[in-house]
Amino acid sequence: MTTAPLPDDDSRLLEQACAWLAKRESGEFSAADRQGLAAWREAGPAHEQAWQRAQAVWQGLGQLRGRPIPGAEPGLQERARLPATDAAATVSVAPTCPPLRNRRRRLRWAPAIAACVLLALTLAAFYPPLAWQADYLTGKAEQRRVVLADGSRLILNADSALAIRFDKLQRRVELLRGEAFFEVAKDAQRPFLAATDAGEVRAIGTAFGVRRTGAETQVELVEGRVEIRTGDRHNPLTAGQTAAIAGGQISVRPGRPENMAVWRDGYLQFDGVPLAEAVERINAYRPGKVLLLNSAWADKRISGLFRLDALDQAVAGFGSAVPGLKIMSLTRYLVVLR
pLDDT tens digits along 34-54: 888 999 899 888 888 888 877
Give the number of C-alpha atoms closer than 13 A to the C-alpha of residue 19, restricted to the C-beta side.
Answer: 25
Q: Do residues 112 and 26 lie in contact, with contact meaning Cβ atoms separated by under 8 Å?
A: yes
Per-residue pLDDT averaged across 115-142, rounded? 68
Residue 208 to residue 180: CA distance in whole angstroms: 9
For residue 104, pLDDT beyond 70: no
Using pLDDT thresholds of 50, 70 and 90, give the confidence band for residue 122: low
User: What is residue 17's three-state secondary structure?
Assistant: helix
The answer to which of 7-21, 83-97, 256-270 has the lowest mean pLDDT is 83-97
CATH for the stretch 131-262: 2.60.120.1440
pLDDT value of position 293: 86
Q: What is the H or E stretch that residue 278 is in?
A: helix 275-283
CATH for the stretch 265-337: 3.55.50.30
Cα separation values, 287 from 76, 102, 195, 312, 325, Å: 11, 24, 29, 10, 22
Per the model's pLDDT, the better-predicted residue between 305 and 129 turns out to be: 305
pLDDT digits (tens, 9 = 90+) for 237-253: 999 999 999 999 999 98
Closest CA to 242 of 274, 210, 267: 210
Cα separation values, 90 from 93, 100, 280, 291, Å: 10, 20, 22, 18
The full 3-state SS of 131-177, as one line of letters, equals HHCCCEECCCCCCEEEECCCCCEEEECCCCEEEEEECCCCEEEEEEE
Residue 18 to residue 31: CA distance in whole angstroms: 19
Q: What is the H or E stretch that residue 267 is in?
A: strand 267-274
Q: Cβ contacts of residue 188 below 8 Å, gap of 6+?
A: 204
pLDDT value of position 213: 86
Q: What angle do CA 11, 16, 20 make, to 5 degrees?
A: 145
Residue 5 to residue 177: CA distance in whole angstroms: 12
User: What is residue 5's three-state secondary structure?
Assistant: coil
For residue 89, pLDDT beyond 50: no
CA 332 to chain centroid, in Å, comes to 20
The domain locations on the chain are 8-70+99-129, 131-262, 265-337
pLDDT digits (tens, 9 = 90+) for 202-239: 998 899 999 998 889 999 999 999 999 999 899 999 99
Could you give the angle at which helices 8-24 and 100-124 cross, rounded to 10 degrees? 140
